[in-house]
Amino acid sequence: MKTVGLIGLGALGIMFGWQLQQKLGNDFCVIVDEERKETYLRQGIFANGEPCQFRFVTPQQASEPLDLLIFGTKIGGLRAAIATAKPFVGPTTVVLSLLNGVSSEEIIGESYGAEKVLLAVSQEMDAVRVGTGVRYTNMGCIVYGEPNGELTARVTEVERILQKGGVVGRPSREAKRILWNKLMINVGVNQVSAAYNATYGDICKKPEVHEVFLGAMREAMMIGCKEGVDLSEDDVARWISLVEKLDPNSFPSMLQDVRAKRYTEVELFGKTIVQLGKKSEFPPRSIRCLSRK
């Protein structure tokens, strides 16, 4: 595995992408259409104030398939990104999606083939989008693995190429569980915060908000269990403990998007759970109400 491409320059895309660009050089590229390329070149992209000199490549310039393709888009731009990146995908291309939730892998697999997609989730970073750049002190890591939990040769190869690119990759036999565990807290914290204009302190201390927070997490837990994922009340308790330790005046990304009138990731969180609930005949009432707010 040698060549790596990224599509989507959000906070994670810029943070991981600039690291990969500096370490891998011409073996790394950012996939863009002509219009977006012109915008990026005109406005500039910055990581911790440093201008990022990305190697931009358009679909028309695709010469051979990439070994590893990473998606860093928002859900609203995912399908367009899939179409844009398709010329870079070949029979042995491996795909990682850094999108939140558990649905992007399936959407990508419908176009490229499910066998190309590993499950992945980003963790432990503190990246914040600022204008056309990103600021962070901790780059965190990418946890990933096969859907069936096997530590295959390509899982090892992805770890090697990420390490070469200066990005920490953590192979896991429990990638599916990790994705669902993160979805559970995103449903509870992000959607509740956005629906009630609530800070972390509000979520912990306001009875009505706290009750919906707990209900949403438990509904996500139940749906996950019906999907064969080992989630429990212990996971809920750990997330409660974590939220209680956060700055009570701060709030998560979805409320930031709501206040800035940006597109939100409600489709990745609550709507995914509601759809899976219909399939398993388990009605997630709290989450359904949050998704409609």
**Calpha distance 158→98 (Å, rounded):** 14
Q: Residue 102 — pLDDT band, cuts 50, 70, 90?
A: confident
- CA–centroid distance for 242 within its chain: 20
Architecture of the 176-292 domain = Orthogonal Bundle (1.10)
Q: Which residues contact 8 (CB under 8 A, 6 or more apart)?
A: 71, 72, 73, 74, 77, 81, 98
pLDDT at residue 287 greater than cutoff 80: no
Give the pLDDT of residue 293. Answer: 55
pLDDT at residue 274 greater than cutoff 80: no
User: What does the pLDDT look like over 212-245, one tens digit per residue?
Assistant: 999 989 988 988 898 899 999 999 999 999 889 8
Tell me if 2 sits within 8 A of 161, measured CB to CB: yes
- The per-residue b/e assignment along 149-184, b for 16 or more CB within 10 angstroms, e otherwise, is eeeeebbeebbebbeebebbbbbbeebbbbbbbbbb
Tokens 């990146």: give the residue.
85
Planar angle of CA 221, 222, 226, nearest 5 degrees: 115
Give the pLDDT of residue 92. Answer: 98
Element (H, E) at 176: helix 175-185
pLDDT at residue 14 greater than cutoff 90: yes
Tell me if 62 sits within 8 A of 89, measured CB to CB: no
Residue ranges per domain, the chain? 4-173, 176-292
Give the pLDDT of residue 251. Answer: 82
Which of 273, 241, 266 lies closest to 252, judged by CA? 266
CATH code of the region 4-173: 3.40.50.720
Give the pLDDT of residue 262. Answer: 74
Q: Residue 13 — pLDDT band, cuts 50, 70, 90?
A: very high
Give the pLDDT of residue 276. Answer: 65
Which of 215, 197, 43, 182 lies closest to 102, judged by CA? 182
pLDDT at residue 178 greater than cutoff 70: yes
User: What does the pLDDT look like over 33-52, one tens digit per residue?
Assistant: 999 999 999 999 999 999 99
Give the pLDDT of residue 186. Answer: 85
Give the pLDDT of residue 183. Answer: 86
Tell me if 275 sits within 8 A of 221, measured CB to CB: no
Half-sphere exposure of 231 (CA within 13 A, CB side): 29
Give the pLDDT of residue 289. Answer: 55
User: What does the pLDDT look like over 114-172, one tens digit per residue?
Assistant: 999 999 999 888 787 888 999 999 899 999 999 999 999 999 999 999 999 999 999 99
pLDDT at residue 288 greater than cutoff 80: no
Secondary structure in 3-state letters for 268-282: CCHHHHHHHHHHHCC
Which of the given ranges, 78-92, 98-112, 273-287, has the highest pLDDT on average? 78-92
Percent of the chain with pLDDT over 70: 89
* pTM, two decimal places: 0.85
pLDDT at residue 5 greater than cutoff 60: yes
4-173 and 176-292 have identical folds: no
Q: If you count them, how many residues does the chain have? A: 293
Q: How far, CA to CA in Å, does 27 sit from each of 2, 70, 132?
A: 7, 14, 24
- CB-based burial of residue 58 (10 Å sphere; 0-12 exposed, 13-18 middle, 19+ buried)? middle
Q: Residue 292 — pLDDT band, cuts 50, 70, 90?
A: low
Q: Sheet harboring 133-135: ordered strands across?
A: 50-51, 46-47, 133-135, 128-130
